[in-house]
């Protein structure tokens, strides 16, 4: 809980403060809402280049094992992909390779086409929310797409133009920073 207070004090961003406040009240690895909020906070720390805080947040769920609830564990896997990216970008090769091997166990190549289609579908959701002037919904869809783009980029087997995808990730980060 102390970590959430520390982050809340460090950032003026309302969404970060909201997430920290919710997690200070309750942060259970058995709650899909809590895991979604925690993973969003990890992603926000990554967007703001606060890798140290992102990794500290990840340590909260690092040892959580799959118990049959995909809704919860998918969120944990998204967090792991963000940390894979941080380890790669900060040249922590051993940690990178270890975590990458861990998350690759959950990848299913048969679902790659669906994931590509999903990325396009998220664009439609973002556009619709923007057109409806539903800012919070738009941000939510942007964050969902963002974490999936990171997962697709960091998966060495995912068949996509990595240069173009990395460009899209950077653009999404800039958009999110401006909107948040």
What would the pLDDT profile of 64-92 be if each residue is shown by its tens digit?
Answer: 999 999 999 999 999 999 999 999 999 99
Phi, psi values for residue 16, rounded to 5°: -60, -45
**In the predicted model, is pLDDT for residue 1 greater than 80?**
no
> Rounded to whole angstroms, how far apart are CA atoms 104 and 85?
13
Residues 7 and 68 in one domain: yes
Q: What is the pTM of this model?
A: 0.94
Number of domains in the chain: 2
**% of the chain exceeding 70 in pLDDT:** 99
Residues 126 and 167 in one domain: yes
72 CB-near residues (< 8 Å, 6+ apart)? 29, 30, 31, 32, 35
158 CB-near residues (< 8 Å, 6+ apart)? 112, 115, 151, 152
**In the predicted model, is pLDDT for residue 16 greater than 80?**
yes
Q: What is the mean pLDDT of the chain?
A: 96
- State the pLDDT at residue 58: 98
Structural domain ending residue among the three candidates 68, 88, 106: 106
Structural domain ending residue among the three candidates 86, 106, 126: 106
- For the chain, how big is the Rg over CA atoms in Å? 16
Residues 85 and 58 in one domain: yes
Taking a C-beta distance cutoff of 8 angstroms, is the pair 101, 130 a contact? no
Q: pLDDT tens, 92-129?
A: 999 999 999 999 999 999 999 999 999 999 999 999 99
Task: Return the closest-CA partner of residue 45 out of 34, 33, 55.
Answer: 55
Residues 89 and 165 in one domain: no
Structural domain ending residue among the three candidates 77, 106, 135: 106
Mean pLDDT calculated for residue range 134-139: 96
| Structural domain harbouring 169 | 110-179
């Amino acid at each position: 809980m102390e970590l959430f207070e520390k982050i809340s004090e460090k950032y003026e961003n309302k969404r970060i403060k909201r997430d920290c406040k919710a997690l200070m009240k309750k942060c259970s690895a058995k709650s899909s809402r809590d895991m979604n909020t925690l993973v969003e906070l990890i992603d926000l720390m990554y967007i703001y280049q606060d890798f140290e805080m992102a990794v500290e947040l990840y340590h909260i769920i690092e040892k959580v094992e799959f118990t049959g609830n995909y809704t919860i564990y998918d969120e944990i896997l998204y967090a792991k992909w963000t940390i894979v990216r941080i380890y790669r970008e900060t040249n922590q090769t051993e940690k990178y390779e270890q975590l990458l091997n861990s998350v690759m166990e959950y990848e299913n190549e048969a679902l790659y086409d669906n994931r590509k289609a999903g990325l396009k579908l998220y664009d439609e959701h973002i556009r619709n929310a923007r057109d409806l002037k539903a800012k919070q919904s738009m941000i939510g869809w942007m964050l969902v797409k963002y974490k999936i783009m990171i997962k697709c980029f960091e998966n060495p087997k995912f068949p996509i133009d990595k240069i173009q995808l990395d460009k899209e990730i950077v653009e999404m980060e800039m958009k999110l920073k401006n909107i948040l």
